[in-house]
Structure 1
Amino acid sequence: MDDIPLSALFGLLFALLACSAFFSGSETGLMTMNRYRLKTRAQKGDRGSRLAQSMLQRPDRLIGTILLGNNFINTLAASVATLIGLRLFPGETGIAVATGGLTLLLLIFGEVTPKTLAALHPERFAIPAAYVLWPLMRLFWPLVWLVTLIGNGILRLIGVSPEDAAQHSLSTEELRTVVAEAGAMIPRRHQKMLLSILDLEKETVEDIMVPRNEIVGIDISEPWPAIRDAIINSQHTRVPLFDGSIDHLKGVVHLRRVVRLAAENTLDVPGLLALAREPYFIPEGTPLNQQLLNFQNQKRRIGFVVDEYGDIQGLVTLEDILEEVVGEFTSDPATRIKNVYADADGSYRVTGSVTIRSLNKNLGWKLPTDGPKTINGLLLEQLETLPQPGAKVEVAGYVFEITETRANAVKSTRVWPPQAGTSGARKMA
Structure 2
Amino acid sequence: METIPSSLWLPLVLLLILLAWDWLLVAIQAALLRAPVGDLRALLHHRAARTAALAQVLERRSALALAVRLGLTLGHGAWLLAWLWLLAQWGLIPATRNLIWVVVGWLALALSELLVDVYARRRRPRLAPRLAPWALWVTRLLMPLATWLQRHFPPESERATALSPSMFQRLLDLASGELDPQHQRMLTAISRLQFTLAREIMVPRVDMVALDVHTPLREAVDLLLRTGYSRVPVYDGHIDNILGVLYAKELLKYCHLSHGEQPSLRALLREPYFVPESKRADDLLREMQQRRTHMAIVIDEYGGVAGLVTLEDIVEEIVGEIQDEYDKQPAMECKPLGNGAYRCPARMDLDDVNDQLQTHFERHVADTLGGLIYTRLGRVPKPGDRVIEGEWELIVDEVEGQRILSVTLRPHRKPAEAETDTQEAKHATSG
Question: TM-score normalised by the shorter chain: which range applies?
Answer: 0.5 to 0.7
Provide the rounded CA distance (Å) in 2 between the counterparts of 1:161 and 1:206.
35
Specify whether residues 168 and 379 from structure 1 end up closer, same or farther in structure 2 by C-alpha distance, changes over 3 A only. closer
**Correspondence for 1:337:** 329
Give the AA of the match of 1:316. Answer: V
Q: 1:373 aligns with which of 347, 361, 367?
A: 367
**Correspondence for 1:359:** 353
Q: 1:191 aligns with which of 179, 184, 192?
A: 184
SS at match of 2:388: strand
**Correspondence for 1:248:** 241
Give the AA of the match of 1:385. Answer: R
Give the AA of the match of 1:360. Answer: N
**Correspondence for 2:379:** 385
Specify whether residues 171 and 163 from structure 1 end up closer, same or farther in structure 2 by C-alpha distance, changes over 3 A only. closer
Specify whether residues 344 and 274 from structure 1 end up closer, same or farther in structure 2 by C-alpha distance, changes over 3 A only. same
**Correspondence for 1:403:** 397
Q: Deviations over 1:307-347 (max 9, x none)?
A: 1221111111111111211223x342422512655143243
1:218 matched to 2:202: no
Q: CA deviation at 1:268?
A: 6.4
Q: CA deviation at 1:254?
A: 1.4
**Correspondence for 1:317:** 310
**Correspondence for 1:304:** 297
Provide the rounded CA distance (Å) in 2 between the counterparts of 1:221 and 1:264.
20
> How many pairs were matched up?
260
Q: CA deviation at 1:270?
A: 3.5
Q: CA deviation at 1:375?
A: 2.1
Specify whether residues 401 and 172 from structure 1 end up closer, same or farther in structure 2 by C-alpha distance, changes over 3 A only. closer
Q: Check the 8 A contact 1:231/1:262 in 2, yes or no.
A: no
After TM superposition, list the pairs within 5 Å mapping 1:169-188 onto structure 2.
169-188=162-181
Q: 1:278 aligns with which of 258, 271, 279?
A: 271
Q: CA deviation at 1:392?
A: 0.9
Q: CA deviation at 1:411?
A: 3.4
Larger Rg: 1
Extract unaligned runs of 5+ from structure 1: 1-158, 420-429
- Computed over aligned residues only, the root mean square deviation of the Cα atoms, in angstroms, reads 3.0
Q: Deviations over 1:4-42 (max 9, x none)?
A: xxxxxxxxxxxxxxxxxxxxxxxxxxxxxxxxxxxxxxx
Provide the rounded CA distance (Å) in 2 between the counterparts of 1:165 and 1:247.
44
Q: Check the 8 A contact 2:208/2:308 in 1, yes or no.
A: yes
Provide the rounded CA distance (Å) in 2 between the counterparts of 1:298 and 1:324.
20
Q: Deviations over 1:256-313 (max 9, x none)?
A: 1112444677476645321210111111111111111111222221101111221111
Q: Deviations over 1:204-230 (max 9, x none)?
A: 111111100001122334455433311
Specify whether residues 286 and 375 from structure 1 end up closer, same or farther in structure 2 by C-alpha distance, changes over 3 A only. same
1:233 matched to 2:226: yes
Provide the rounded CA distance (Å) in 1 between the counterparts of 2:169 and 2:362.
23
Give the AA of the match of 1:408. Answer: Q
1:294 matched to 2:282: no
Provide the rounded CA distance (Å) in 2 between the counterparts of 1:341 and 1:263.
45
Give the AA of the match of 1:233. Answer: R
Provide the rounded CA distance (Å) in 2 between the counterparts of 1:293 and 1:273.
28
Q: CA deviation at 1:379?
A: 0.7
Stretch moving more, 340-349 or 259-268 = 259-268
Give the AA of the match of 1:287. Answer: R
Give the AA of the match of 1:347. Answer: A
Provide the rounded CA distance (Å) in 2 between the counterparts of 1:309 and 1:264.
41
Q: Check the 8 A contact 1:348/1:416 in 2, yes or no.
A: yes
SS at match of 1:249: strand
Q: Check the 8 A contact 2:169/2:188 in 1, yes or no.
A: yes
SS at match of 1:183: coil
- Normalised by the length of structure 1, the TM-score is 0.54
Provide the rounded CA distance (Å) in 1 between the counterparts of 2:263 and 2:342.
47
Q: Deviations over 1:336-385 (max 9, x none)?
A: 51265514324333343333233234444332211222222211110122
**Correspondence for 1:426:** none
Q: Deviations over 1:43-73 (max 9, x none)?
A: xxxxxxxxxxxxxxxxxxxxxxxxxxxxxxx
